[in-house]
């Protein structure tokens, strides 16, 4: 669907050069001389690259309808991942390329948000924090404190993160999925 530049809103999806972008922010600029234009900050839905573009007020843009759905990770079959839509209990199969870097923290039964366009998942968003079990790390020693340093540890998804020296195998930790960093140890 084609829209005019005046119909632009934050969060809207746009098709530019065969890629889907989300409008992060925009501002109408009316210079003293010349025609008015709109400065738009856009974020590529697949790569998360942010670009800034200017559009004349007479230009038309291709609108892309984006829909967010809550999904639950069911299981993995080769390079395919199976999710269940929490609203209609439909099974959705997604390839590894669509999941991208989120694969590092994708746990069984984890609830995620899928961004869809034309009934096709474009991107998967993890929750900000996950709780994971430490399955491999060097043993800690009595007296190690949280400020003394860090060591590598493997979590239940197979990803290696840095944790404080006092964390041991079998401990549960809270991880920030945006940065991949340790937040705190959790009692379970």
| Helix (H/G/I), strand (E/B), else coil: 103 | helix
Q: Nearest-CA neighbor of 110 among 91, 84, 135, 90?
A: 84
Helical ranges in the chain per DSSP H: 96-99
Q: Is the dihedral of CA 120, 124, 125, 131 positive or negative?
A: positive
147 and 174 housed in the same domain: yes
Alpha-carbon distance of 170 to 67, in angstroms, equals 38
Number of structural domains in the chain: 3
Q: Is the dihedral of CA 113, 124, 40, 12 positive or negative?
A: negative
Print pLDDT tens along the chain (188 aa): 788 888 888 888 998 888 899 999 999 888 888 888 889 999 998 888 999 999 888 888 888 898 999 999 999 888 899 999 988 999 999 988 888 888 899 998 999 999 898 888 888 889 999 999 999 988 866 555 555 688 899 999 889 999 988 888 899 999 999 888 999 988 87
39 and 78 housed in the same domain: no
7 and 48 housed in the same domain: yes
Of 92, 107, 125, the residue at which a domain comes to its end is 125
Pairing between β-strand 19-29 and β-strand 13-16 as defined by DSSP bridges: antiparallel
117 and 136 housed in the same domain: no
113 and 87 housed in the same domain: yes
Domain hosting residue 45, numbered range: 2-64
Encoding tokens for residue 49?
């690259």
Of 38, 64, 90, the residue at which a domain comes to its end is 64
Encoding tokens for residue 91?
């099974």
């Amino acid at each position: 669907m084609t829209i005019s530049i005046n119909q632009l809103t934050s969060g809207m999806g746009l098709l530019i050069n065969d890629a889907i972008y989300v409008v992060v922010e925009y501002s109408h600029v009316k210079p003293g001389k010349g025609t008015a234009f709109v400065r738009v900050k856009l974020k590529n839905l697949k790569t998360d690259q942010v670009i800034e573009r200017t559009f004349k007020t007479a230009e038309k843009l291709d609108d892309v309808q984006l829909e967010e759905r809550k999904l639950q990770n069911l299981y993995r079959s080769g390079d395919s991942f199976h999710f269940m839509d929490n609203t209609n209990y439909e099974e959705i199969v997604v390839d590894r390329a669509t999941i991208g870097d989120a694969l590092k923290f994708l746990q069984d039964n984890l609830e995620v948000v899928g961004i869809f366009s034309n009934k096709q998942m474009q991107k998967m968003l993890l929750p900000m924090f996950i709780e994971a079990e430490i399955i491999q790390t060097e043993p800690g020693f009595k007296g190690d404190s949280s400020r003394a340093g860090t060591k590598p540890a493997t979590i239940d998804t197979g990803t290696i993160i840095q944790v404080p020296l006092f964390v041991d195998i079998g401990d549960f930790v809270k991880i920030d999925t945006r940065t991949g960093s340790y937040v705190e140890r959790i009692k379970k």
